């Protein structure tokens, strides 16, 4: 089911084009949690809406086979760059596709969505995502859905992060909203 979206027009506003900055503002404090469940459940693991591969790469570094689904061409580009020439590349299978409609020929003992479910902005997209996941979850498997609702709460509706230095001395960037 590897496919490239026809265009980035069907990606949610504000998502496509931020891949270069995504890892600069990502917290990795959730990685031990996913690694613990990976140890319990084993491989293969499905990382849905994998972004730049932050969690997929950590799981592969832990020795687990990971299938990663991502729709954004810019996120996929960064993800692929991050694994070029690394041993973990052999443990990661990247699928270009939408979390609402993917179809793989594999059942997974562990499926995760680390903080990306919020990109399914309608009830229909949320139900479609959960339905696609249900089809791929092995008997006795575990599905972990990390819901980050902070941006929807008034006390978190504005934020300012940074500045963070860009690679290769290109300056710095701040994140705000």
162 or 56, greater pLDDT: 56
Average pLDDT across the chain, whole number? 81
Residue pLDDT, tens place only, 38-60: 999 999 999 999 999 999 999 99
CB within 8 A of 106, min separation 6: which ones?
Answer: 44, 46, 67, 136
pLDDT of residue 48: 96
The reply to whether CATH 3.40.50.150 applies to domain 13-176 is yes
First to last CA, the chain: 35
CB within 8 A of 28, min separation 6: which ones?
Answer: 54, 58
Domain ranges, ordered by start, for the chain = 13-176
77 or 26, greater pLDDT: 77
Q: What percent of the chain has pLDDT over 70?
A: 68
Chain centroid offset of residue 52 CA: 7
> pLDDT at residue 174 above 80?
no
27 or 108, greater pLDDT: 108
- pLDDT-based confidence at 115, cuts 50/70/90? confident
Instruction: Please state the pTM of the whole predicted model.
Output: 0.78
Residue 144, strand partner residues: 112
Strands 172-176 and 160-165 come out as antiparallel
Residue among 32, 26, 21 nearest 173 (CA): 21
Strands 108-114 and 172-176 come out as unpaired
């Amino acid at each position: 089911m590897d496919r490239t979206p026809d265009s980035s027009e069907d990606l949610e506003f504000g998502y496509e084009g931020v891949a270069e900055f995504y890892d600069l503002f990502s917290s990795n404090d959730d990685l031990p949690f996913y690694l613990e469940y990976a140890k319990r459940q084993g491989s293969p693991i499905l990382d849905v809406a994998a972004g730049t591969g932050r969690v997929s790469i950590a799981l592969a570094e832990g020795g687990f086979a990971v299938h990663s689904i991502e729709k954004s061409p810019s996120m996929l580009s960064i993800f692929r760059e991050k694994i070029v020439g690394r041993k973990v590349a052999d443990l990661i299978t990247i699928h270009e596709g939408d979390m609402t409609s993917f179809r793989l020929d594999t059942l997974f003992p562990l499926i995760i969505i680390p903080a990306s479910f919020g990109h399914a902005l309608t009830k229909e997209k949320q139900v479609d995502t959960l339905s696609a996941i249900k089809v791929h979850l092995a008997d006795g498997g575990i599905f972990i859905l990390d819901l980050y609702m902070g941006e929807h709460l008034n006390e978190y509706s504005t934020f300012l992060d940074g500045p963070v230095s860009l690679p290769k001395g290109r300056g710095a960037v701040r994140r705000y909203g």
